[in-house]
A and B are shown apart, each in its own frame.
Chain A
Amino acid sequence: MSTVPRFWRHIPQRYNLVGTHCEKCDEYYYPPRTICPNCRRNAKMEDHKFDGRGTVVTYTTIYNATDDFKRQTPYNLAIIELMEGPRLTGQVICSPDEIKIGMKVKPVFRILGKEGDRGIIYYGTKFVPVEGSA
């Protein structure tokens, strides 16, 4: 079981999709990076809040999960490309028949999971289809 700070320190990034942007090479990073792999030492990084709308690059539907996610099965997991370019991994809330490569999605704030019956309940971003895109 983890301590509260482990979850708490990522609240801005996970609740509000705050990532980073390198002013030097104009590349966006989510999940956030401290060091820009393009510019490394010469990077000039700033925080950037992503809008969160994006496209499904690839996906799966999980039927056999780890203990913490067992109650949620089956659920869709996708790699989503945000409009600014970076990609992230997240759940897409829709039926397994509905999700498609190329589908447009938008972010929603949800409970992501809990650590056992008495552990921490943690929150963050999931995604839902943008209507009419499928």
Chain B
Amino acid sequence: MRSVSIIGAGCTRFGERWYDSLRDLVVETGIMALEDASVSGDEIDGLYIGNMSGGRFVEQEHIGALISDCAGLSRLHVPSTRVEAACASGGLALRQAVLAVASGYSDVVIAAGVEKMTDVTGGVAADALAAAADREWECFFGATFPALYAMIARLHMHRFGTTREELAAVAVKNHHNGCANPISQYQMEISVEKVLRSPLVADPLRVLDCSPITDGAAAVVLAPTEVASKYSDAPIKILAAAQASDTLALHDRREITTLDASVYAARKAFDQAGLAPKDIDLAEVHDAFTIGEIVAIEDLGFVEKGEGGRAAEEGLTAIGGKIPINTSGGLKACGHPVGATGIKQAYEMVLQLRGEAGKRQVDGAKVGLTHNVGGCGGTALVHIMSR
């Protein structure tokens, strides 16, 4: 297997992009990534696109061909593949692109992610997202996506004494980081009191515990490490690309307060990279809900099981803390265009490892980890990269 590096990265501003279609967002980010990589269209061997639900959000399927077409690559007949694993579609696209280059099958490959979520009303969007859960045995009985994470939160609080304030501290930190990120959907500080006063969505989770509905796209360009310096003077090496699955329904899991898919993907990733959690300088983790970040830092091995709650409150996961988490603002503040999220995490890591993250730069960042979850843990992807 060949070593693979990221030679370019781009990401649109995240938010309610009413003037832009799915196509506009993809073209915008594609141009940014290709310019960053100084790669021309005829060098591209393939595209992998993460998109959860073009069919529900914009009534468009066949996203692979669409994007190759919009990107001006139709006459080159470049193979373009759309991949889907709910909210982990972006991470999945990245891993598929890594495999294509590592295997020697392709040389220069784009991994992109896109979701255009605001072309439908809130109820339709909520139902489309609920399709990441088990339609027949969860949603049929009234489960929503926040409800599943709320049940994880409830049991975590019951078992480990995690408090409502500790959940809120995750949102406060991530909004603070988002303020320093120009692409972030929310550019406002919030307080613990404000989180606790926001309306209940699924008890104990409130509006400000939840990631928003977001439009956005992100792309990275991959090439074999041996030729990466030909394109970029700061290539980022991918040390591990791991993926794991678990039961679709939360009720079927071995354990409800642990996402086993995250545990297994992390174990494989650390094994591939020959590293341990203590070697990681910073991480982007899947905080679709505040409890998601708490469970993730436990499952990835940054803190002991049950101690994730205290991390944000004690400043452990802040920029300047022991293990900065979600410097981009995370899904919570930067926004969560589901199919784009896994690639946006890689984009943030590229900036951090190049030392180009501005006010949110983690000093001396050398090794970073990204963690992307589909549904409430049916799929997990973990990537580790270094400068």
Complex interface: chain A residues within 8 A of B138 (CB): 89
Instruction: Give the total of A residues in contact with B, Cβ under 8 Å.
Output: 35
| Complex contact A66–B158 (CB within 8 A) | no
- B144 CB contact (under 8 Å) in A58, A59, A62: A62
**What is the CA–CA distance of A78 and B147 in the complex, to the nearest angstrom?**
9
| Complex contact A67–B155 (CB within 8 A) | no
Q: Contacts A63-B200, A65-B142, A66-B127 known; A58 to B147 CB distance under 8 Å?
A: no
Complex interface: chain B residues within 8 A of A96 (CB): 203
| Complex contact A89–B251 (CB within 8 A) | yes
Q: Mark A83-109, 1 if CB is under 8 A from B, else 0.
A: 000011111000010000100000000
Q: Contacts A66-B126, A91-B142 known; A60 to B137 CB distance under 8 Å?
A: no
| Complex contact A70–B142 (CB within 8 A) | no
- The reply to whether the CB of A57 lies closer than 8 angstroms to some CB of chain B is yes
**What is the CA–CA distance of A14 and B138 in the complex, to the nearest angstrom?**
12
Q: Contacts A66-B127, A77-B147 known; A91 to B141 CB distance under 8 Å?
A: yes
Complex interface: chain B residues within 8 A of A58 (CB): 151-152, 154-155, 158, 256
Complex interface: chain B residues within 8 A of A60 (CB): 147, 150-151, 154, 202-205
**What is the CA–CA distance of A14 and B141 in the complex, to the nearest angstrom?**
10
Complex interface: chain B residues within 8 A of A69 (CB): 142, 144
**What is the CA–CA distance of A36 and B152 in the complex, to the nearest angstrom?**
26
Q: What's the interface size class on B, roughly? A: 35 or more
| Complex contact A62–B142 (CB within 8 A) | yes
Q: Contacts A63-B203, A90-B141 known; A77 to B154 CB distance under 8 Å?
A: no
Tell me the residues in window 174-232 of chain B with beta carbons closer than 8 Å to chain A beta carbons. Answer: 199-205
- A77 CB contact (under 8 Å) in B123, B141, B158: B141
Q: Mark B234-264, 1 if CB is under 8 A from A, else 0.
A: 0000000000000001111000100000000
Q: Mark B261-294, 1 if CB is under 8 A from A, else 0.
A: 0000000000000000000000000000000000
Q: Mark B154-171, 1 if CB is under 8 A from A, else 0.
A: 110010000000000000
| Complex contact A57–B256 (CB within 8 A) | yes
Most chain B CB within a 10 A radius of its CB, from A66, A74, A124: A66
- B155 CB contact (under 8 Å) in A65, A68, A77, A101: A101
A sample of 15 cross-chain residue pairs with beta-carbon separation below 8 angstroms, ordered by A number, consists of A31-B136, A57-B251, A60-B203, A64-B126, A64-B199, A64-B202, A66-B123, A66-B144, A70-B123, A77-B141, A77-B143, A77-B202, A89-B138, A89-B141, A112-B142
Q: Which residues of B approach A to under 8 Å, CB–CB?
A: 123-124, 126-127, 130, 134, 136-144, 146-147, 150-152, 154-155, 158, 199-205, 249-252, 256
Could you list 12 further interchain pairs (A-B, Cβ under 8 angstroms) beyond the known A63-B200, A89-B138?
A: A59-B154, A60-B147, A63-B199, A63-B201, A64-B146, A65-B144, A67-B124, A69-B144, A88-B251, A89-B250, A89-B251, A126-B141
